[in-house]
Structure 1
Amino acid sequence: MSEIIKIDSIDNNGRGVARRDGKAIFVDGAILNETVEANIYQKKDSFEVATATRIIKESSARVTPRCPNYGVCGGCSMQHIDPSTQVAVKQRTLEDNLWHIGKVEKAKVLPPIHGPYWGYRYRARLSVRYVRKKNDVLVGFREKKGRFVVEMDTCPVLAKRVSDLIPSLRACLNNLSCREDIPQIEVAVGEETVVLALRHMVPLSDEDTQKLLDFAKKHDIVWWTQSKGLDTLKPLLTNSSDSHKLYYDIPQFGLRMFYEPSDFTQVNPFINRTLIHRALNLLEIESSDRVADLFCGLGNFTLPLATMAKEVMGFEGSETLTERAMQGAKIHGLENKVSFTTLNLFDVDKEWLENLGFFDKMLLDPPRDGAFAVCKALTEMNPSLRPKRIVYVSCNPSTLARDVDVLVNSGSYKLLSAGVINMFPHTAHVESIAAFDLVC
């Protein structure tokens, strides 16, 4: 059913929102202050969902999407909105969560962390599907509405080297005998090396292996393969030095971070460098500080912290990552200032924290589930052992708000400042950073 709708706000997913008889109508492809003709395709008791089919009155924030697959591809949801408005939407999402869900007093709003809007994505999982009717292999993201793979030859948010490679990659995979048994490719782009990790459900024949090697040589990439679980992930050429060249630099601290395709690293290396700088500035590190970095991963924050503080302890749930982080510390001569411990940070308590002793500062960088157990332990531990300053890097505003509620409304900490990190331009994904000071 089609009708004329006036949009009066934008939701957290970048959809236009209208109201009729107390019911919300979420409109894909519409922007604040627009009047659109929309097709309503879902009706519930409290809301309806629609797609804009014609723009009657256009917003000044509307721009032409750069991607020819925008609207079909599920990779982006905000390319039709100018970048500054995208960030404003994310900032409002963060503030709504903090002030209304976290129930804290309004604090200083930090300037957004910006970076390139295109070619920023250095990590990605690309779906692969052989289509019999087309006798062709599709490589890309899944469609916005459905499980099909988008037919794409370019992707403007992917690193340019990878985007330019898609047509040749499709042709290469289409020539493999196992083309029907390849579900996905993991992309990891380092400073020098592009790694494509091929997931294959059947063993690679010698002929297929040679075709992959020929492709790698021609296009200057490195193949890794995975036949089953992550423990089977390995370089296609196991004796190749190329398998050890995947790294990213943190130049302001003189650090080079080596990693493998299965390791967690930030998707956007440009934003990551700025984020590290801001996090350490907010912590106000002094040379005498003892610092804890929880959910430390490869040591993305730990090693920069170790160049400034007296002692840094990193804690992480993955033993593989803590081992890699310690290797990085040794490479940079920081092994006497830093240590790493593997443990489940979702199951810690005040006794564990108290046994670690006093930390001057603490950095939290949890996954989407947040850091509830850590925050609860901080509020329950001996007040004399609580860190004086906490910086929390979040990839989920709702769990951040929950954890802020625990830290602040217990009377233990005060929220000093918070701001968005535009890690994923053209998507509704909200990353943020917040700083807290000890109250008691």
Structure 2
Amino acid sequence: MKKIPADKKFIENIRVIDIAEEGKGVGKADDLVLFIEKAVPGDLVDAELIRKKKNFAEAKITKLTEASEHRTEPFCPHFGICGGCKWQHMTYDAQLQFKQKSVTDALSRIARIDVSSTHPILPSFETRYYRNKLEFTFSNKRWLTSDDIENNNDAEMNALGFHVPLRFDKILNIETCYLQTDPSNEIRNSVRTFSLENGISFYDLRQHEGALRNLIIRTSTTDELMVIVVFAYPEEGQVESLMSFLQSRFPQITSLLYVINQKKNDTIFDQDIHVYAGRDHIFEEMEGLKFKIGAKSFYQTNSLQAYELYSVTRKLAGFSGNELVYDLYTGAGTIANFVARHVREVIGIEYVPSAIEDAKLNSSINNIGNTTFYAGDMKDVLDAEFIARHGKPDVVITDPPRAGMHADVVARLLEMEARKIVYVSCNAATQARDLALLKEKYRVLKIHPVDMFPHTQHVENVVLLELHDQ
């Protein structure tokens, strides 16, 4: 194979054949695999090499010779700078096609299973304004765009928006975000304007000083609204001033909260939540079930599609009504409570104690009496004694984090020999790794991808496994 000279910087006529994470198109030039920024499969481009390794290089387009049929005009003015929505330059139909391909490629290549019967990916009900939670960051070091620099528009350096990729201390000021429904944009822009006009300082992410740190907005399908302002080092009267403004300007806020966080990281799970006005929670609803959402609660960020994901999970499980179900990595017990009416008993296990308390509360709110929840590390809780005490499950539902299941947990599943396993995953590669191990005793019957996050590379995948020799 012909080698690219070490000093060569420009390559012509590259056909983009695939798309990778971070929204980079994939092409080949002799001995190099190229990851090309903002390229779409089907494009024919000239490219400049930005960073070159032995077998691959990162590149950017210098000339778009032929545009792909999958290419479309991004609708967000922040596209390409903001860290989100990196597939926005590709039609939604094409996004679904390549998400499906990413799932089947991972499962066939890593797990070596037959993927010919994979169900077509379930599209998202909404492709804009689909998130129920956004977290914005305040910074006194605004990221200057090329237009800002060209127009010397650098007088105001305070920003409220999202982190620029690979720059922890630089925040892109967001004017309009298409991820969350109204009044999210109006709240964020009003908070920024009020704070600037009233001299409330924005956080310095390097020096760890300043008053305003984060703004978290949560919405729900029940039209309830939570706003959390995270302060760091406010001056006297500044908390009251801003919170009073929010209460009067946006009376529709159901839960108006604030936090004083002076740690070096942004997490609020170990911080006290202060209620300024309204309740300390909002409610989400799904198939007649109510779920209480607090400031620290976990809930799928695409509410409408979460219902579809859980419906697929329940359908693949094929409950008859008399099953004992183990729900591993249960989180706030959403899946456990969602399936509880269709089975004899559900036992949920989760690492985060506060999530387990939410799970118990959500069962209580909905008068569900056949769920039990335990907090602890999965590989430690799910031992032989636990199974002996609670009984061997008929069905296991597992929805682990992106890293997949610990090897000890997979080993325990093989020992347990539940009749069915329904494996929900947000990372097809780690799911495939675990499926390869489970093949020892299980066969894959059904594969069903679900799109939760349009304009990103992320995709959920649900796999039904059945014990051999049934």
Normalised by the size of structure 1, how large is the TM-score? 0.91
Q: What CA distance in whole angstroms lies between the structure 2 residues aligned with 1:320 and 1:358?
A: 26
How is 1:18-417 mapped onto 2 (pairs within 5 angstroms)? 18-106=27-115, 108-115=117-124, 116-131=126-141, 134-135=155-156, 137-144=158-165, 146-147=167-168, 148-174=170-196, 175-180=198-203, 181=210, 182-190=212-220, 191-203=222-234, 205-219=236-250, 220-221=252-253, 222-228=255-261, 229-237=268-276, 240-244=277-281, 246-250=282-286, 252=287, 254-335=288-369, 337-347=370-380, 351-352=384-385, 354-355=387-388, 356-372=390-406, 373-381=408-416, 386-408=417-439, 410=440, 412-417=441-446
Structure 1's 361 and 348: CA in aligned 2 closer, same or farther, altered over 3 A?
Answer: same
Greater shift in the superposed pair: 215-224 or 150-159 = 215-224
User: Would the aligned equivalents of 2:422 and 2:463 in 1 still touch at CA under 8 Å?
Assistant: yes
| One-letter amino acid of the structure 1 residue matched with residue 350 of structure 2 | E
* Contact 2:176–2:185 under 8 Å retained in 1: yes
Query: Following TM superposition, by how much is the alpha carbon of 1:438 offset from its aligned partner in structure 2, in angstroms?
Result: 1.1
TM-score when scaled to structure 2? Answer: 0.86
Q: Which runs of 5+ in 1 are unaligned?
A: none
Aligned partners of 2:189, 2:14: CA distance in 1, in Å?
41
**Partner Cα distance (2:237, 2:41) in 1:** 56
Q: What's the Cα RMSD here?
A: 2.0
Whether the 8 Å CA contact 1:76–1:426 is kept in 2: the answer is: yes
Q: CA deviation at 1:125?
A: 2.2
The Cα shift of 1:352 comes to 4.4
- Among 436, 449, 453, the alignment partner of 1:424 is 453
Q: Secondary structure at the match of 2:308?
A: helix
| Partner SS for 1:108 | coil
- Alignment partners' CA distance in 1, 2:93 and 2:17: 16
CA contact (8 A) 2:449 2:460 kept: yes
| Residue identity opposite 1:242 in structure 2 | R
Give the aligned residue type for 2:20.
N
Paired residues in the alignment total: 428
Q: Could you give the per-residue CA deviations for residues 262-285 of structure 1, whole angstroms, max 9, x where no partner exists?
A: 221111001101111111011111
State whether residues 327 and 398 of structure 2, in contact with CA within 8 Å, keep that contact through their aligned partners in structure 1.
yes
Q: Residues 204 and 314 from structure 1, CA distance in 2 versus in 1: closer, same or farther, beyond 3 angstroms?
A: farther
Counterpart-to-counterpart distance in 2, 1:417 and 1:286: 18
Give secondary structure in 2 for the equivalent of 1:258.
strand
- Offset of residue 435 of structure 1: 0.8
Bigger relative CO (Cα 8 Å, ≥ 6 apart): 1
Q: Find the counterpart in structure 1 of residue 151 from structure 2.
A: none
Distance 2:93 2:63 in 1: 24
Partner of 2:467: 438
What is the letter of the counterpart of residue 295 of structure 1?
Answer: Y
What is the alpha-carbon distance in structure 1 between the residues aligned to residue 74 and residue 295 of structure 2? 30
Any conservation in 2 of the 1:120–1:159 contact (CA below 8 Å)? yes
Specify whether residues 53 and 187 from structure 1 end up closer, same or farther in structure 2 by C-alpha distance, changes over 3 A only: farther
- The 3-state SS of whatever aligns with 2:130 is coil
Asked if the contact 2:16/2:39 (under 8 Å) is kept, the reply is: no
